[in-house]
Amino acid sequence: MNQKYMVPLAGVLLLFLLAYAGVEGAGMQWFFGIIVPYVAVIAFVGGFVRRVMGWAASAVPFRIPTTCGQQKSLPWIKQNCIDNPDKASGVFMRMVLEIFLFRSLFRNTKAAFNRNEKNKLTYSWEIFLWVGALAFHYSFLVVIIRHLRFFLEPVPSCLKFLEFFDGIVQLGLPGLFISGAVLLLAALFLLARRIFDAKVSYISLAADYFPLFLIIGIAASGIAMRYFTKVDIIGIKSFTMGLVTFHPVIPDGVGGLFYAHIFMVSALFAYFPVSKLMHMGGIFLSPTRNMANNNRAKRHVNPWNYAVDIHTYEQYEDHFREKMIDAGLPVDKKE
Amino acid sequence: MSKNAIMAGLVVFVAMALLPFWYNIGGSSAAPEPELSEKAKAAQKCVLDKYDMRANHMSLLDEWRDSVVRDADRLYESTNGKTFQMSLSTGEESCLGCHTDKEKFCDKCHTYASVDPYCWECHTTPKEINQ
């Protein structure tokens, strides 16, 4: 037990209960279903734009790419074009691999003492964080795209295509979507890593646990609604379509669990721009990845350099020529 | 990164994040009303209550399938006291026996919610056969 995860856990439970009790007890569907989602969308988009504009305004005076391979050098030395790029094409490849495959996480290592009498400190490759992160991010992406079926009318055929592959196991009715299950399991794995790995636990803060608990809560409530407690999906689509066409309606008979789901999603969106989740935008702007390593090959002028008044030797000599000649010093121009 | 590239990326992000708001402009968002046949209107009662039926019919059909195929048990006693023949498409007592028009009853909501039930990979509606 440790307050760094007990407080966020209590917070997420409180959010859940607030919406559940607010709807089931106080009948505040309009608040949790209409006002909160609109506020969350405004906070998300506005906050996101503000954050990125702030980053765009900060100076990046010097190239600081992290180099992970041979720099461009003499012609007979082979350059690592992606891990130490000197051209935009290499940087582009590096960013694509980083964004889609989390390449730097793939290189993750762990330090541990050997479990034999030598007890030597060794560094070994640790791939599970990368696997968990890929599973988590991609399943979350698929889940979010899948949810567009509630927000678009008519539903585009590419979404049906995605749903077909996501539900390809045809397990049960309504059919199991693999992405939902993978999302919950991956989020639980990432949480377990933070709780049970002593070294990770030591550096984990409440801000690391809160989004994890929130996402676990969202995934669990969504899965509960789809497979176990069941909700009227047509009523829900009329509700979501009402929100996006600015004619909000409250569907009949939809219970507190749905509003708790919506409220937690809204909380996640509103919290997004002020949290570590902003790595979604930040990854594009990481200066250690998105710059070519051409510090010495090209001249980079400091962007805030002002014009400096210079005093050349000719001007100096013009000024002091007579005194220099009197003192017997050599001069370039004699009168 | 240059300011222009960042701004371009930001515009793309905002457009994508607000996709549902501009995609639906000009379209109709009203939920479809499944059309009840005369027979269904006259019967008044379905297997379950209206909300239960809307939310739960797929699970019920799944249970029925298992019951019929594995246990040969075709009788379903509903909570409202009536007994039904468990069948999707065979006989007057079946789902399609009462809700005769698949297109106007089943498909309307399924299309709206982008649900593609695999019922119809084996079953056909009597109407479709006649055509």
CATH code assigned to A3-304: 1.20.950.20
Taking 80 as the threshold, does the pLDDT of residue A107 lie above it? yes
Query: B112 and A252: CB-CB below 8 Å?
Result: no
Taking 90 as the threshold, does the pLDDT of residue A24 lie above it? yes
Chain A residues lying within 8 Å of B58, measured CB to CB: 173-174
Query: A230 and B56: CB-CB below 8 Å?
Result: yes
Query: Which two three-digit tokens encode residue B21?
Result: 């708001």
User: Which burial class, exposed, middle or buried, applies to A100 when counting CB atoms under 10 A from its CB (0-12, 13-18, 19+)?
Assistant: exposed
> In this structure, is residue B31 part of a structural domain?
no
Give the structural domain span for B58.
36-130
Three-state SS letters, chain A? CCHHHHHHHHHHHHHHHHHHHHHHCCCCHHHHHHHHHHHHHHHHHHHHHHHHHHHHHCCCCCCCCCCCCCCCCCCCCCCCCCCCCCCHHHHHHHHHHHHHHCHHHHCCEEEEECCCCCCCEEEEECCHHHHHHHHHHHHHHHHHHHHHHHCCCCCCHHHHHHHHHHCCCCCCCCCCCHHHHHHHHHHHHHHHHHHHCHHHHHHCCHHHHHHHHHHHHHHHHHHHHHHHHCCCHHHHHHHHHHHHCCCCCCCCCCCHHHHHHHHHHHHHHHHHHHCHHHHHHHHHHCCCCCCCCCCCCCCCCCCCCCCCCCCCHHHHHHHHHHHHHHCCCCCCCCC
- Which residues of B lie inside 8 Å of A (Cβ-Cβ)? 1, 3, 6-7, 9-10, 13-14, 17-21, 23-24, 27-32, 51, 54-56, 58-59, 61-62, 109, 111-118
> In this structure, is residue B28 part of a structural domain?
no
Q: What is the pLDDT of residues A216-275, one digit of tens each?
A: 999 999 999 999 998 999 999 999 999 999 999 999 888 899 999 999 999 999 999 999
Measure in Å the smallest separation between the Cα of A36 and chain B Cα atoms: 16
Omega before residue A211 within 30° of 0, cis: no
Query: A56 and B115: CB-CB below 8 Å?
Result: no
Chain A residues lying within 8 Å of B21, measured CB to CB: 244
Q: What is the pLDDT of residues B18-28, one digit of tens each?
A: 999 999 888 77
Instruction: Count the domains in chain B.
Output: 1
> CA-CA distance, A61 to A333, in Å (whole number)?
41
Looking at chain A, the whole-number percentage of residues with pLDDT higher than 90 is 77
Chain B's closest residue to A158, CA to CA, is B114
> In this structure, is residue B29 part of a structural domain?
no
Please report the ipTM that was assigned to this predicted complex: 0.88
> In this structure, is residue B97 part of a structural domain?
yes
Give the confidence band of A306 by pLDDT, cuts at 50, 70, 90: confident
Chain A residues lying within 8 Å of B108, measured CB to CB: none
| Dihedral angle, C-alpha A314, A316, A320, A326, nearest 10 ° | -60
Domain with CATH 1.20.950.20 in chain A: 3-304
The pLDDT, as a whole number, for residue A195 is 92
Give the confidence band of B128 by pLDDT, cuts at 50, 70, 90: low
CB B119 within 8 A of CB B61: yes
Q: What is the pLDDT of residues A177-212, one digit of tens each?
A: 999 999 999 999 999 999 998 889 999 999 999 999
> In this structure, is residue B14 part of a structural domain?
no
> In this structure, is residue B12 part of a structural domain?
no
Query: A44 and B17: CB-CB below 8 Å?
Result: yes
